Amino acid sequence: MDSKFFNWSKIFDIFEKEYQKSDIRLWRDFLRSKDLGIICIDFFNDRYIVTDEKKWTLTKIKYGAL
C-alpha cells in the first residue's frame, strides 16, 4: 500500500476540544486512538500520512473535509 502524505491544519481545529479534555498527552497518540486512518508525522507543520484510505475517506465525509 502506498502511503499518502498531506498537510491539513483543520484537523486540529476539529478535534482540539476533545483532545484537551482527554488524558492522552501526545497529539499523535490521540489521533491513533481515534482510528481515523491517518497518523501524524509532524504536528508543527501539520504533516500526516494516510494509513487506511477507507477510514480516512469516511473521516473526511463525517467532518466535512470533502
pLDDT band at 43 (very low <50, low <70, confident <90, very high): confident
Residues 23-41: tens digit of each pLDDT: 999 999 999 999 999 999 9
Q: Are 11 and 48 in contact, with CB atoms under 8 Å apart? A: yes
> If you ran DSSP here, which 8-state letter would residue 9 be given?
T
Q: Give percent above pLDDT 90 in the chain.
A: 59
**Is the per-residue pLDDT at 66 higher than 70?**
no
Give the sheet arrangement for strand 47-50, strand by strand.
Answer: 4-7, 47-50, 38-42
Give the pLDDT of residue 31. 93
